[in-house]
Structure 1
Amino acid sequence: MRTFRIMIRYVLLISLLGMGIQIKAADRPNVLLIFFDDMGYGDMGANGASGARIPNDSAFLNAKTPTLTPNLDRFAEGAMRFTNGHSSDGVCSPSRYSLMTGHYSWRTTLKKGVTGGYSKTFMDADRFTIGKLFQKNGYKTAMVGKWHIGMQFYSPSGDPVDLGNDAKVLQKNKIDFSKPVMDTPYHRGGFDYYFGTPASLDMPPYAWLESKDGEVHMLTRGGIVNNDQEVDFSLAKVATNKDLAEGKRFGRPGVNDPDFVYADYLQVQAAKVTQIIAERGKDGAPFFIYVPMPAPHTPHTVQKKFEGSAGWTYGDYVAQTDFYTGEILKALGDPNDLKSLAANTVVFITSDNGPESGAYKSSLKANHDANGPWAGRKRDNYEGGTRVPFMVRWPGKVKSGSTDHPCWQGDFVATMADVLGYPLGEEEAPDAESFLPVLVGKKMPEKRRAAFIQHSSSGQFAIVDAAGEWKLIDGTGGGGNKTTCDADNGETLKKGTTCGTPRQLFNLKKDPGERVNLLRDPSPDILDKEQELYNMLNAIRGNSDWGTDGSSNVPR
């Protein structure tokens, strides 16, 4: 078996050499993965200029340049930008799980919706993750930011709890916050170091957590911004219930560290990532850092210095998000400097789903189209729900430009396994397909998976064929929001009935805005195409309305 694996690795290495990628053990690329929360395709200027009028006195944006994301736009100039890159789902938790594992979340116990701040994890302990991939290949791994895949808190008597977003944990003495937290990214994700928060910034508990000496604890004073400049991590200590408060500050009411400043989250996060990058620069170890931001998801807690940057609150928050993304990228150095970390770092930047309804609607009033040219938004099966910012930069290896290659975020796991010459096992990232050929300007192999899945917040399925041409939605509407937007920003579309008929069939090559459901007045050929895609969908999801253990049949 060992000899067989060595032969496989040799064949994969030869394949990589044929693609123009030459990887020596000492030259393994560092990897930085930045994952936004609710950033829509149209929020990023590189995907199309904003129509918003930038204030002349904006401190962070240029009034002459209609964009909210100058740092991302500069990054895009040196990256490959995927115009048909997707999240796996229309909401947070399932997208994050699938990004980490290359395994669709609806194959787990999470069939719809999201987890809460105190929810137990739905990630199996032995589930292969991208963090574990890098650990197996000698990398130092770290995660800084929002997890939202569940973790295990404990009661004062030591019993595990599963409390969702319970607002009265302290009042009713349901959790002992001094106890170690389990099933965190440190335990399940393959991360040697974790500093972050359990879930969204509108879900308790509102405090930083950190791994140290083999345990993960919730902190008080985890990261303090001094004089609007430096971040002080030296004051952090393990929190006890007496250190915490309970009530409403932003988002849902619940437990919070009184010294936790919501608006400072991105600055604290960027400072911690910068610190880790500096440490890796000194020791020379290859690293993988996962940076899931809680922004621009609600609450839109804008630091004072960013207020008025764009002219409306959500726009200001996107500008703030872009700025701290730029600070993280700056820590890598100049990608054109061969001696910099950036020169040998793969950077993948993307978002978990499309824009939130409130953010989208407030942005329209400012003449900014957060979901771009697509129908639908966060939660929906329409393209605006899952077609998101999606860019990869690898200086000297990946040419800059754009591609319409259709793929989803779990494919990054398989792509990096391909780069490292790591042969994925049958249960390792089973739904993921490497897009390394696309990155290096080659054609995808003839033998490929037939399609990939888009999933809505209510559990509705859509399937897109490998060519990105045909899309079938297994229901009569978007499967997410009660009402949602069409491609012309009219609020004309509805949630519909999951698994209801007539289903919706679109030719995305001819009709990327999903304006014409071809099943409203189908020809025999269209009915045949519907049946072909429906059979394909059932083969992948396991012939179950909610999804089970079917197979994506990805060639290995």
Structure 2
Amino acid sequence: MNRNIYLLGVVSLLLQSSLADGKPGQKKPNIIFILADDLGYGDISCLNENGKIHTPNIDMIAQTGITFTDAHSSSAVCTPSRYGILTGRYNWRSRLKNGVLNFYDHPLMSAERTNMASMLKQNGYQTACFGKWHLGWNWPTIDGNKPVDNSNEYNLDFSKPITGGPVDVGFDYFFGVDAPNYPPFCFIENRQTVGIPTLYFPKHPFGDCRPGRGIPSWNMEDILPVLQQKVVDCITAAAKKEAPFFIYFPITGPHTPIAPSKEFQGKSGLNAYADFVLEIDHLVGEIEKTLQENHLLENTILVFTSDNGCSPQADFPFLAEHGHQPSYIYRGHKADLFEGGHRIPCLMQWPAKIKEPHTVSQTICLIDFMATFANMVGHNPSDNEAEDSYNLLPAILNPGFPKSIREATVHHSINGSFTIRKGEWKLLLSAGSGGWSSPKPGKEEEGLPPVQLYNMKSDPAEKDNVQEKYTEVVKQLTDLLRKYVEEGRSTSGKPQKNDGEYPWHQIIGIIKN
């Protein structure tokens, strides 16, 4: 057995024992997981010394807890990143091999697959989800048998229950939207729309939104304040119950439509995107205040992070002109294989166990929180659970923990291209970004090397492609990625199958090398 893995196992068992050795009757920790939407690493002031957006409430998490400086999403776009967080499984193992779910798509996450909510519910937690779901539903139809897509929206019957969503995969309660820029433009509570969407909104009624049905009173500026109040009310109610709670809060900002409420419009002195980030910071402060008022702060784990990097919709040229870089020093943005696509802010506080603020500089992935929370509550994942998730507790509870928890980390772009990072080396199995920045897939890649290799220690901005100089590193990382793909997992355990077609076209070159 690898000695590092053995040591990690011993440390994990000791930590699990210590977590269980609290005072008689002591509750398991509450968990609040706040997932921002398209928020860049450089948009948090404690992570960007030159940033122009001041986020004091989010910064306070770092000042009292942990800052993960090398944290990543598994995907550079929305749906797949959320799938990875909740399942602890790389998103490309699902049927979705590129892109995101469209509006009225059917569920991506099977109710039979253990996820963060169902696992915690099995271990005594109250579970709730507020905000953007974007993982699909079984949308009811008028005729009862025709599939629904965005071309036959009028076959939808909003008077019927919508199944396959959060409350069918482990959450006790849901209040939110499918996606703020997708119809139906209304809130959904559990399995029912709040109101019947009767009005048809044309394309781009609220900025970057798709056309579709909504309720006449729908106002994009109200979404975040309503969700904030729902979470505050949930925390207050949960405080009166014995069971610990898990709140998954995938907020709708600063994704498009960029619609800060009136209180925050113009507050940043920059643009609407920066105003929206300030509103998110205020939201975090209100949640902290509610925890404090209900005497829950000490034993509540609060994670704040983002599903992927910042979107170009933030207006990068304008922000750069005013001295602000949403991707900080990193290349690229949302949708890309470059760091700006998947390196994200990630902060965590847990006053009962994290007594001194510290930084975790080793590479982690958001899919690791599944195994981390499982270990914390004493759940031992079976072979077909959390196949790519690593337990972070040793690094969380031991400042300066020296061992690398992850062997390597895989990232995925919007067009389904891969990159794999191990230590200082990052290999991109693409000639370009695989996303929206240059070189874009297609003509911009012509004449470029088919792969890119960067030393992230000496070249964090990914400027110098050294794939010709280090061909053995290219081979080693390609072989490791092939192993991860073929075995259906990247952690130890029995090999598993990937979903959907096999091989899919993005991996044909990888598995045949």
CA distance, structure 1, for counterparts of residue 290 and residue 224 of structure 2 = 15
| Distance change >3 Å, CA 439–CA 504, structure 1 → 2 | same
Which residue of the partner structure matches residue 509 of structure 2?
none
Three-state SS of the structure 2 residue aligned to 1:144 is: strand
Cα offset, 1:50, TM superposition: 4.2
Three-state SS of the structure 1 residue aligned to 2:303 is: strand
CA distance, structure 1, for counterparts of residue 178 and residue 184 of structure 2 = 7
CA distance, structure 2, for counterparts of residue 39 and residue 327 of structure 1 = 19
Which residue of the partner structure matches residue 453 of structure 2?
505
CA distance, structure 2, for counterparts of residue 555 and residue 46 of structure 1 = 38
Three-state SS of the structure 1 residue aligned to 2:482 is: helix
| 1:208 matched to 2:187 | yes
| 1:218 matched to 2:198 | no
Unaligned runs of 5+ in 1: 1-9, 53-66, 221-238, 485-492, 543-548
Cα offset, 1:442, TM superposition: 6.0
CA distance, structure 1, for counterparts of residue 243 and residue 121 of structure 2 = 12
Cα offset, 1:159, TM superposition: 2.4
Pick aligned residue for 2:407 from 443, 450, 460 = 450
| Distance change >3 Å, CA 443–CA 51, structure 1 → 2 | closer
Which residue of the partner structure matches residue 214 of structure 2?
256
Cα contact 2:12–2:393 (8 A) shared by 1: no
| 1:371 matched to 2:327 | yes
CA distance, structure 2, for counterparts of residue 134 and residue 83 of structure 1 = 27
Which residue of the partner structure matches residue 159 of structure 1?
145
Pick aligned residue for 1:117 from 89, 93, 103 = 103
Which residue of the partner structure matches residue 380 of structure 2?
423
Cα offset, 1:554, TM superposition: 3.5
Three-state SS of the structure 2 residue aligned to 1:426 is: coil
Question: 1:43-442 residue pairs with structure 2 within 5 A?
Answer: 43-52=43-52, 67-159=53-145, 161-163=147-149, 165-166=150-151, 169=153, 173-188=154-169, 190-199=170-179, 201-211=180-190, 216-220=191-195, 239=196, 243-248=198-203, 249-250=205-206, 251-311=209-269, 312-333=271-292, 340-359=295-314, 360-398=316-354, 399-441=356-398
Which residue of the partner structure matches residue 434 of structure 2?
479
Cα contact 2:453–2:466 (8 A) shared by 1: yes
| Distance change >3 Å, CA 421–CA 262, structure 1 → 2 | same
Pick aligned residue for 1:553 from 464, 485, 491 = 491
CA distance, structure 1, for counterparts of residue 345 and residue 286 of structure 2 = 19
Cα offset, 1:38, TM superposition: 0.2
CA distance, structure 2, for counterparts of residue 341 and residue 12 of structure 1 = 28
| Distance change >3 Å, CA 113–CA 13, structure 1 → 2 | closer
Cα contact 1:85–1:390 (8 A) shared by 2: yes
Cα offset, 1:303, TM superposition: 1.6
| Distance change >3 Å, CA 460–CA 187, structure 1 → 2 | same
Query: Deviations along 1:420-449, whole A, 9 cap, x unmatched?
Result: 121111111110001110001167696965
CA distance, structure 2, for counterparts of residue 96 and residue 300 of structure 1 = 20
Query: Deviations along 1:179-214, whole A, 9 cap, x unmatched?
Result: 1001001112x1011111112x11111111112xxx
| TM-score, normalised with respect to structure 1 | 0.81
| Distance change >3 Å, CA 34–CA 332, structure 1 → 2 | same
| Matched residues, number | 477
Query: Deviations along 1:207-260, whole A, 9 cap, x unmatched?
Result: 11112xxxx11112xxxxxxxxxxxxxxxxxx3x5x544434211221111122
What's the Cα RMSD here? 2.4
CA distance, structure 2, for counterparts of residue 316 and residue 284 of structure 1 = 38
| Distance change >3 Å, CA 447–CA 72, structure 1 → 2 | closer
Three-state SS of the structure 2 residue aligned to 1:282 is: coil
| Distance change >3 Å, CA 96–CA 448, structure 1 → 2 | same
Which residue of the partner structure matches residue 4 of structure 2?
none
CA distance, structure 1, for counterparts of residue 492 and residue 412 of structure 2 = 19
| Percent of aligned positions that are identical | 36
Which residue of the partner structure matches residue 540 of structure 1?
484
| Distance change >3 Å, CA 447–CA 294, structure 1 → 2 | closer
Cα contact 2:200–2:211 (8 A) shared by 1: no
CA distance, structure 2, for counterparts of residue 50 and residue 323 of structure 1 = 21
| Distance change >3 Å, CA 104–CA 131, structure 1 → 2 | same
Cα contact 1:156–1:175 (8 A) shared by 2: yes
CA distance, structure 2, for counterparts of residue 400 and residue 150 of structure 1 = 38
Cα offset, 1:494, TM superposition: 4.0
1:436 partner amino acid: L
Cα contact 1:30–1:286 (8 A) shared by 2: yes
Cα offset, 1:147, TM superposition: 0.4
| Distance change >3 Å, CA 332–CA 501, structure 1 → 2 | same
| Distance change >3 Å, CA 406–CA 148, structure 1 → 2 | same
1:202 partner amino acid: N
Which residue of the partner structure matches residue 39 of structure 1?
39
Cα contact 2:42–2:51 (8 A) shared by 1: no
CA distance, structure 2, for counterparts of residue 509 and residue 19 of structure 1 = 35
Which residue of the partner structure matches residue 466 of structure 2?
518
| Distance change >3 Å, CA 17–CA 538, structure 1 → 2 | closer
Cα contact 2:359–2:399 (8 A) shared by 1: no
Which residue of the partner structure matches residue 5 of structure 1?
none
Cα offset, 1:367, TM superposition: 1.9
| TM-score, normalised with respect to structure 2 | 0.88
Cα contact 1:120–1:161 (8 A) shared by 2: no
Cα contact 2:175–2:187 (8 A) shared by 1: yes
Cα contact 1:452–1:463 (8 A) shared by 2: yes
Unaligned runs of 5+ in 2: 1-8, 495-513
Three-state SS of the structure 1 residue aligned to 2:298 is: helix
| Distance change >3 Å, CA 456–CA 447, structure 1 → 2 | closer
